[in-house]
Amino acid sequence: MKLHDLSKFDPSIKLVKNSEWPEEILAICTLDALTSGGMIFIKNAKFLQKLVPVIDQAVTLKVGAVVDEKFFNLVNAELKAELNKLPWIATSTQVPMALTLLSKPFFDQKMKGVNTQVDGRQMGTTDIHPTAHIAQNVFIGENVKIGANVEIQPGAVIHSFSEIGENTKIHSNVTIYAFTKIGRNCRIHSGTVIGSDGFGYTFHQGQHVKIWHMGGVVIHDDVEIGSNSSVDMGTFSPTIIGAGTRIDNLVQIAHNCKIGKGCVICGQCGLAGSVVLEDYVVMGGRAAVGPDSHIGMGSQIAGGAKVNESAIWPPGSKLGGHPAKDLKEWMRGVAYLRTMSLKEK
């Protein structure tokens, strides 16, 4: 896509720097995963502050930005000087909607080669190690790579451009969407879905307009995922599950989550979008973490606890209750309420 094409999707877009930028815009990217020729969206000071530490990388990769028009006009001279280092800048009166509308053409471009009708083995485009064991009634898309000693049981679906590392076992009726990478020695149990669309919409003029997801999923080595769980693909960069993590049945992991190594997530847990769990975090059954929260290394979340949106907890935290707080504080509160309620009888 060329720079002048942006306004075809969002008429409010105005080019304010390098309107004649000749190069193609190759992708929408995020500040934590900048890509060559990419485009980022900045709607407020929070996003601009995140850009400043990576501005040199963004310049090297020729990343441009679409900025909220009102915010752009209010940015102080120091921050605007940093922003102006980017090769091109545009403004929009509706940045969330601009991102939403522009996600569709980039999604279509990325998904051009995804064939869901004809098995890649018939097309001659798969790379399957001769020691892999693939049962009958398995669909494998184009350009799929499957390593040595992989076992795929009946009814599994592996969509295009996915990779499965050696010694991994995919149980019956697992669905793996396109652009998923699974490491070595993993086990994915029946009914689980890896890489389905994230739950992302922009409310505009009385409608929930879909944000098209294309970031994929990366699962590192030695991960086990129970049955009937779901790991959503990232919006523009991948959802990541670290090596050695264990995920129980009926777990929901939303788009753009980053789960560290050695984590344990028990049954019926839910992680909202862009949650970060550092290494060795443990979540008890039916615990939930709100969007954009960050849980430090080695923390423990008690069963049934609910961590609020955008919460930040340091390493070694022990949390319980709703809203989640320090476990001992929560238990003292529960004990106090019980004591007071008994006195009233």
Query: Whats the size of the chain, residue-wise?
Result: 345
Backbone angles phi and psi of 337, in degrees to 5? -60, -40
Indicate if the alpha-carbon torsion angle 265, 268, 269, 273 is positive or negative.
Answer: positive
- For the CA atoms of 49, 15, 27, 95, the dihedral, rounded to the nearest 10 degrees, stands at 60
* Distance between first and last Cα of the chain: 71
- Helix, strand, coil shares, percent, the chain, to 5: 20, 30, 50
Backbone angles phi and psi of 101, in degrees to 5? -65, -40
255: annotated active-site residue = yes
Contacts of 202 (CB under 8 A, 6+ apart): 96, 97, 99, 100, 208, 209, 211
Contacts of 31 (CB under 8 A, 6+ apart): 40, 47, 50, 51, 54
DSSP result, 246-295: EE-SS-EE-TT-EE-TT-EE-TT-EE-TT-EE-TT-EE-TT-EE-TT-EE
Q: Which residue among 133, 204, 255, 322 is the active-site one?
A: 255
Indicate if the alpha-carbon torsion angle 266, 267, 269, 270 is positive or negative.
Answer: positive
Q: Which residues are catalytic?
A: 255
